[in-house]
Structure 1
Amino acid sequence: MDADPAPFLYPLEHSKILHLVRHAQGTHNVAGEKDHNALLSPEYFDAHLSPLGWQQAGDLRKQVHASGQLRRIDLVITSPLCRAMQTATQVFGSEGQIDGSKGANIDNSGISSLKCPPIVAAELCRERLGVHPCDKRRTISENRSRFPAIDFSLIESDEDILWKTDARETDEEIAARGLEFMS
């Protein structure tokens, strides 16, 4: 027997539900599973989704659409890293293509922003910063042309000024950045 749901402290109609989605498998994940030192390779700069990653994002898209959740989503926030933006546009973008272009989707068609929730890139919701080229983003001007359905207006610098070549972010720094993002 199901119990009655507990009352909310704040009325549900005035609440927002937050769903967190990690990016699908990236090419750097595949390489890193074989050899962790591969994450230091410039070959994986701002790594994109692997074929399995595209399948994972496509599967999540089907689940989101089948559940009816898409029509209840007010906003999608993504990291400005390629794999995160590819995941966000694959899952939450509309099925239409942008002028038949390949866009940033490597093997997949460009994603239209028609009939989809707004997608906004936010610098503070990135992965651990520093040292690994896969965690350094492209310039915002390049990303704007590759991801026209994404709003980059919250990012102040065209260049990636957060990523450092010689220092990896500490757990404390990540926690502080996460709190800043949520405030």
Structure 2
Amino acid sequence: MELGATTALYPLHRCKTIYLVRHAQGIHNVAGEKDFGAYMSHELFDAQLTPLGWNQVDGLREHVKKSGLAEKIELVISSPLLRTMQTAVGVFGGEKYTDGVNAPPLMVENARHSGRPAVSSLNCPPFIAVETCREHLGVHPCDKRRSITEYRPLFPAIDFSLIENDEDVLWEPDVREPNEAVALRGMKFMDCFANCELRSMVLVDRSMLGSYSSRFNYAGKNPTGLDVPSDIADKKQVDEAQKN
């Protein structure tokens, strides 16, 4: 019996689905497509979304809501760049913000002259900014972030507590981060994304696989026996067969 190299079944309760979304079109994307040298322009510092980018956000938001995906999202993680946070709150945030509501908005009205209404933090998952999921660092001003002090008033309900430095200490003006370093930061999956494209992947907690035996055996509960994935179970079968 030969083992399948690419297919395996994993217990659902050991899995977590992650949806990856690249930011929508930014002003740097437009300028860079016309002239790659434009990426060196300081006018593109911490580039924000274009009108088309906001249309992409609105379209993806509609898809997320109609597909039922919005109800499954437990946490939204964004890099601390203007365009990524705009995309994140625009797609996964609450509805239009209403004054007097006892909850801070995810994004204030007309943040950075975006012309967009405020986004509510009600009835949506928590948002957190994480430094390590940024794009290529260095040289290009569009990839340098503002200080967290500047971001907090614009995105009051985003949690910035995991970011250690107020200023951007990772971006260097003379050194462009190599691809290997980007991969180490978990960004290699983002390289081939189209603007505002959504992808999904599943993380499996293999550290506890096969170590838990449930007392339940009916719909909605974990089955009895060891919860090993199919590839491990197949390997055990092969090993036993070879012993015999």
TM-score relative to the length of structure 2 = 0.68
Q: In the aligned structure 1, how far is the partner of 2:158 from the partner of 2:116?
A: 17
Could you tell me how far 1:141 is from its partner in structure 2? 1.0
Paired position in structure 1 for 2:116:
108
Q: Within 2, Cα distance between the matches of 1:158 and 1:73?
A: 28
Answering whether residue 152 of structure 2 is matched by residue 144 of structure 1, we say yes
CA contact (8 A) 1:137 1:160 kept: yes
- Return the structure number with greater helix share: 1
CA distance in 2, matches of 1:14, 1:103: 40
From 99, 118, 127, the equivalent of 2:126 is 118
> Could you say what secondary structure the match of 2:128 adopts?
strand
Instruction: Name the residue aligned to 2:9.
Output: 8
Aligned-pair distance for 1:172? 1.2
- The 1:56/1:75 distance shift into structure 2, 3 A limit, reads same
Counterpart amino acid of 1:126? R
Following superposition, the deviation at residue 154 of structure 1 comes to: 0.7
Q: In the TM superposition, what are the counterparts of 1:33-182 in structure 2 within 5 Å?
A: 33-97=33-97, 99=99, 101-104=109-112, 106-178=114-186
TM-score, length of structure 1 as denominator length: 0.89
Name the CA distance, whole Å, in 1 between partners of 2:46 and 2:164. 19
- SS at 1:95's partner residue? coil
Cα separation, 2, equivalents of 1:78 and 1:171? 20
More off after superposition, 136-145 vs 104-113:
104-113
Distance 1:149 1:70 in 2: 18
Q: Secondary structure at the match of 2:77?
A: strand
Amino acid aligned to 1:8: L
Q: How many residues in Structure 1 have an aligned counterpart in Structure 2?
A: 174
Q: Which has the higher strand share?
A: 2
Deviation at 1:98, TM superposition (A): 5.7
Match of 1:23 in 2: 23
RMSD of equivalent CA atoms: 1.8
Unaligned runs of 5+ in 1: 1-5
The 8 Å contact of residues 109 and 115 in structure 2, kept in 1 or not, is answered as: no
Which 5+ residue runs of structure 2 have no aligned equivalent?
1-6, 100-107, 188-202, 204-244
RCO comparison, higher one (Cα < 8 Å, 6+): 2
Following the alignment from structure 1 to structure 2, what is the Cα–Cα distance between the partners of residues 167 and 67? 42
Q: Which has the larger radius of gyration?
A: 2
Does the 8 Å contact 1:74/1:117 carry over to 2? Answer: yes
